[in-house]
Amino acid sequence: METRQGIATKEALDLQSVDQDLVQKMVYDALVWSSLHGLVVGDRSVQRSGKVPGVGLVHAPFALLPVSFPESHFREACELAPIFNELVDRVSLDGKFLQESLSRTKKVDPFTSRLLDIHSKMLELNKKEDIRLGLHRSDYMLDEQTKSLLQIEVNTISSSFSGLSCLVSELHRSLLIHYGERLGLDSKKVPGNSAVIQFAEAMAKAWTEYNNARGGQVIAVVYFRAGYAPTDYPSESEWRARLLMEQSSAVKCPSISYHLAGTKKIQQELAKPNVLERFLDNKEDIAKVRKCFAGLWSLDDSENVSKAIENPELYVMKPQREGGGNNIYGEDVKETLLRLKKDGTDEDAAYILMQRIFPSVSLTFLMRDGICHKDHAISELGIYGAYLRIKEKVIMNEQSGYLMRTKVASSNEGGVAAGFAVLDSLYLT
């Protein structure tokens, strides 16, 4: 176990004490519920899965019971959603800031460089996006030692699980309606979650505002469920398609500038003193946002690089990538930093350095492939935000549901799809 604090058993429910028969009943009901309500994903072990609709489905990995989370911190995260929506919008309008902040990264990261090229072309054309649609998810962990809610990152492209997260909340409510009394838990303490409806509503409103009903002829809204990873562009034709979409008058979710505003490098630049002030006017909003920033540094910050070499377990190194599995942890942080120092090239500009956050560890029942495992786990809370704007008029700016992901505490990263994390919901305490 890599956690510093050891094991905290702070959950409202003491899982150790739950009777095995009851667990087996809940497992059975939860699996039936998942199949009936579409809490399912493609089953990789079935060859035709993903090719033939309705073939090869398995329940999504989920936690059997919701994880305890302080209501005050949940509210804090929800309140941040509209502020981050606004911040992404403001940053996206500052083409010079995006280009300059990513200029060193551009030299060493071919993928980010291609995105920046598309962005440059739009700047040259002086292209304006009058209708701007953002479907974001800002992720947080609750740092155990300081009891503070700290942001992991904000996703501005392909923010995932808005559909399944709602179902997991419903599953947990349903289990607590049936078994809550025996567990000493109240189903009403699982907050409502309508992420998928709110995202769909934002997309539909963007279509309405585009106001051209010639369907089949004119494309009004482009939503990217891919396009955030280099592997999504196996040839030049994908890059040409991305450019074509960007040049078009369609509403892009995200536009190239929203995409770039969501990079880790921009997150790190925004955390520098006096940068938020360039984009946000309201002092309280600025203070709220700053409070959730963890330590973030560029690799040309030699003082913090030295500290990270000394105590690598307290840091995470991140390249400009999305989708999980790209970060560097522990001894690898030290090795990579030492190598970059020795090489003396610009390659360091591909990464940012971040304070490692240590959430409290609790016992969880993790369900995967119909099997229930009990393990020590940590959780990450994502808050969805939907934003729609037409020129000066903000049509929609709201918090739009949540996603809880819980992963085995010994795993550094572990996405849901990668097999370490499960979908979860929360139980307000």
Q: Tokens standing for 92?
A: 């996206």
The residues that are catalytic are 137, 153, 155, 160, 264, 318, 322-323, 405
The interface partner of residue 255, options being ligand ADP, Mg ion, none and the CB cut-off 5 to 8 Å by kind, is none
| Complex with ligand ADP: residue 27 or 314, whichever CB lies closer | 314
Count of other CB atoms within 10 angstroms of residue 149? 21
| Complex with Mg ion: residue 136 or 252, whichever CB lies closer | 136
Q: Which stretch binds ligand ADP (CB under 6 A): 200-208, 269-277, 303-311, 352-360?
A: 352-360
155 binds Mg ion per the rule CB under 5 A: yes
DSSP string for residues in 166-207 = HHHHHHHHHHHHHHHHHHT--GGGS----HHHHHHHHHHHHH
Q: 277 to 316, contacts with ligand ADP by CB under 6 A?
A: 294, 316
Q: Which amino acid is at 199?
A: F
State residue 133 phi and psi, 5-degree precision: -115, 125
- Binder of Mg ion out of 322, 348, 396, 425 (CB under 5 A): 322
Q: 354 to 413, contacts with ligand ADP by CB under 6 A?
A: 354-357, 380, 413
Binding mask 352-391 toward Mg ion (x if CB under 5 A, else -) reads ----------------------------------------
The interface partner of residue 357, options being ligand ADP, Mg ion, none and the CB cut-off 5 to 8 Å by kind, is ligand ADP
Residue 306 C-beta: closest distance to Mg ion, Å: 27
CA 281, CA 185: separation in Å to the nearest integer?
Answer: 42
Count the residues of the shown chain that bind ligand ADP, applying the rule CB under 6 A.
Answer: 18
Q: 123 to 162, contacts with ligand ADP by CB under 6 A?
A: 139, 152-153
Count of other CB atoms within 10 angstroms of residue 66? 30
CA 214, CA 16: separation in Å to the nearest integer?
Answer: 60
Q: Tokens standing for 146?
A: 């300081």
CA 9 to the chain's CA centroid: 26
- The answer to whether the beta carbons of residues 355 and 368 sit under 8 Å apart is no
162 binds Mg ion per the rule CB under 5 A: no
327 binds ligand ADP per the rule CB under 6 A: yes
- Binder of ligand ADP out of 3, 49, 249, 326 (CB under 6 A): 326
The residues that bridge with 151 in the sheet, in sequence order, are 140
Find, among 108, 116, 326, the residue nearest to 242 by Cα. 116
Residue ranges in contact with ligand ADP by CB under 6 A: 139, 152-153, 294, 316, 318, 321-324, 326-327, 354-357, 380, 413
